[in-house]
Structures are given as C-alpha cells and as structure tokens.
Structure 1
Amino acid sequence: MTGPPKTPSLAAELSAEFAGTLILILFGVGVVAQVVAGGLGDHDSIAWAWGIGVTLGVYVSARLSGGHINPAVTFALAVFKGFPWRKVPAFWAAQFAGAFIAALLVRWDYSEVLAKFDPGHTFKSQFVFSTLPGNGTLPIGTWGAVRDQVIGTAILLFVVLALTDLRNSPPLANLTPVVIGLLVVAIGMAWGTCAGYAINPARDLGPRLAQYITGYDTAWRDQHGDLYFWVPIAAPLVGGVVGAGLYLLLIGRHIPEPEDFQAAGAERKPEYDVP
C-alpha cells in the first residue's frame, strides 16, 4: 500500500518557483529583445510569447509550488486564501532570483544585437528588460502607470481565482495553465499601452537589476527622469489584493460549499467526490 502523497519541502517549492519564473522571463524578455532590438515580430508576438511563457512556467512549477511565479499572486493568496505568511518572503526571493538569472541570460545572448541597436544602452532599449510609463513614448506619468498596474493586476488575480476555484467551473484536464496564459495574452493586447503590463513585481525588478549591472545606468528611472522602479513592484501588489478581494466579494462568497450542493438541489460536481 502507498501512503498519502508526500508534501514538497520548502526547498522544493522554492526550486519550482525559481524554475517557473526563469522560464517565464526567458520567453517574455527574450521576445521583447527579438522584436525591439532584432526587428523580428510585432506587438502580437510579444503578447503571445508572454502568455505562452506564463503557461509553460506554471506547468513547470505547479506540482511542487502551485505555480505562483508572481509575487502579486503569492501576496494575494496569503491575504485571502491561507497561503502561509512565513513562506511569502522565500517565495518572493525565489521568483526574483529566477527572473534575474533569466534576464542575465537574455542580456548575454542578445549582447551583440543590443549593442548594434542601442550602443549607449539608453531608454531606446531599456524597456526590453523593464517597463516604462507609456512604453517610453506616450505621455503617461508615474501615477498614470500606478493606476494602470493596479487595474491590470486586479484583472489578473480576479480571473486567476475564478479559474482555480474548484467550487466554480474551472478548466479541466489540467488546462488551467493554458487558460491563464491566454488571460495574460489578453491583458497584453488590451492593457499594454500605459505601463507595459508588468503585473508581476519579479518580472520587472529582476530584469531591471540585471540591466543595471550590465550597463544601463538609467535602469531605476523612467524617461522623465523620475524614480520609477517602485511602481511595477508596489502597484501590482495592491492590484492583486484588489482583484482577489473583488472575486471573493462578487463571485466566491456566493458559490455553495461542497456540502451545500445537495441541500440546494444541485448536482454534486465530480471534482468534489472523495474516495
């Protein structure tokens, strides 16, 4: 006889978060480098590659860690879904490290391409790695970017909670990562103008540090000269809590618990059947 499944150790969870975030950033930052500096592809290429990167990163890490690969997800789950607060700093560190190493790999592999496209390592190519308000060209300031990141991350967490709530109608056959990836594609296509849809503090901070130590002296500021690095960190954390809270308020609290389905005259759903 076999016993109950072994709970992964914290080290295994952190390894998974590192690897999942690494995969996400390899595809995400890699595609921006290819489109911006290499001249291959367009905005749709960027949106699709980020979404596919999310899907693959979640598949890589979900079994061991739950596939957060985003500090805003980890934080919202700690606030509302019982994720242990003692694990939050460690998860954040693993996610940041994965994003940082992935960005260094992209920076190294695209070094000749970036040097030809932008020899001075200026704002012209800075947003290959980190986000800027208005994507560096449109008249969006710091607080406009804060607004945008709160809204974008709220959308992300609202839908993620809907897709992962077993009491709702989640995707079956292990397709949840695919649908979450499509969600990120949609956010990129609809909400990418004002601040580059970071919606993930690790996605921005890790690559921002990588570019700073490899020659981008302006990495911490935006094109207006304002200190900007904190926006894609703080605003997604706030937006994630807002989105998760709104899901629970508008949807989650109205869905019957498993034991309430029969009492309510509803058919018991297969995912609640326990041997």
Structure 2
Amino acid sequence: MELWVVIPAYNEERSIGATLRRLAEQTDADFGLVVVDNGSTDTTAEVVRAFADDHPKLDLRIVPEREKGTGAAADSGIRHAIAAGATHIARTDADCLPGPDWIAAVKRAFDDGLEMVSGPLRPRTDEFPLKWWERRLLPAVIGLAATFGRFRPGNQDPLFLGPYVMMPGCNVAITADLYERAGGFPRTRIEDVHEDRALVNQVRRLTTAYGLRADVVVHGSVRRLRAFGLVRTLGWYADHRYRPDVVDIR
C-alpha cells in the first residue's frame, strides 16, 4: 500500500503549520504528502516550503492550482499523488488536526477491505476558548447534517448500491482505483457544490465497500461555526440554504 495525503489550501498561513506538524508526528510515518496551493494571496506556500525544509524526512510536495475551489484543488492533488504512485489517498484540510493515529487507522480500514473510509470529526480546542457545551456543538451539527443527508432527496436513487454515509472532505480516504472509477471530486467551488457529498454518491453507484471507522479521527476548525452561528451553519451544510457574503472564513 502506498498512501498519500492531500491537503487543499487557500490563504491558510496561520493554520497549515499546525496541520503539517500533526501529520509529521503520526505514529505511522510511511506516507507521502501533497499540499495544493489554491491560488493563495498570503504566505501559505512559503510556510509549507519552510516546513518541508525543516522536516527533510517528510515527503512533502506543494502543487499549484489556480482554478478556485476545494473540489478542483483536491482533485488536482489526488491526481498528482496517483501519478506519483499512490495506491491509496487520504484527504484532510489545512485548518484541521488529524488524530496521532490517523494514518495507521486509515490503513487498517483499507486492510479490512474498505475502499473508502471516513470517521468522526471533532472540534479543535486550540483555536478559541471553548465552553463545555461548545465542545459538543460541532458533533451535534455534524450529526444533524448526517441525519438530513440520509433523507435528502438528492441522496435517494434506486441505482445506489448502499446507504448514504456522510464523509466530510477533511476526513476521508479512498483507493486510487475507486477514485478514478468514480470520476473523482467534481472540480467545483465549495459555495456551488459540496464535493465530498458528490463523490460519496458517485461511489455509491459502484460499490458497498465504504464506511465509517471510529478510530479515523480528525479535529476540525470551528471558525465557520463561530462566524455563522449554529442555525446559519446548519443552513450552509443543508444545500446552501444560507449563503454568506464571505465563504472563506479566516
């Protein structure tokens, strides 16, 4: 198994260092890493290059993608990894902290026969001081979104081979073969299409070998929740019923 991790990044100079450090500290260090600079106007690329210089044992590459969008950036990164020899790809985002055993857990899921896997998305506690109820807010939002997804009309089709499972783009892994057969992430902007949902539904037409694992854990940023509030955040994830003036919260 040759596993690569892909991170799309846009103006993440303040956040991506923590993400890279968490990956450099994984219990299983046998993976390649691609950061896709999605047209950043800040020093994101410089931060990544400096990190690579300071961690020569980490196979870290930076790939430019001028076409704006998380879907486009993730797709470019994954296809770069596949061209470099990746047989399996994991994706997280530049404002997220994978658990210390994330790589090992992803590999275990693949070894058990899954072709696509995700797991819990928990709130980061290092960005803002969080009260005890706020620590439970992000999992609650994700749980509501997952429940909505099971009943969402767009996720219902007799051609689907298995049930809808919410797999956030910041915590998902897939085999290279299935990614290519499914057509990959749509090359879209996040404000137009939730590219992770689109890929899940493409996969559901091909196989039932996908699912969730409790040990595939990523801690996600709460900055969007803080900026939008609970109701608007739910509206954003529910087919963009809420459309903010500023999507890229930094």
The alignment's TM-score, normalised by the length of structure 1, stands at 0.28
Report which of the two has the higher share of strand.
2
Please identify the structure whose Cα radius of gyration is greater: 1
In proportion to residue count, which structure has more helix?
1
TM-score in terms of structure 2 length: 0.30
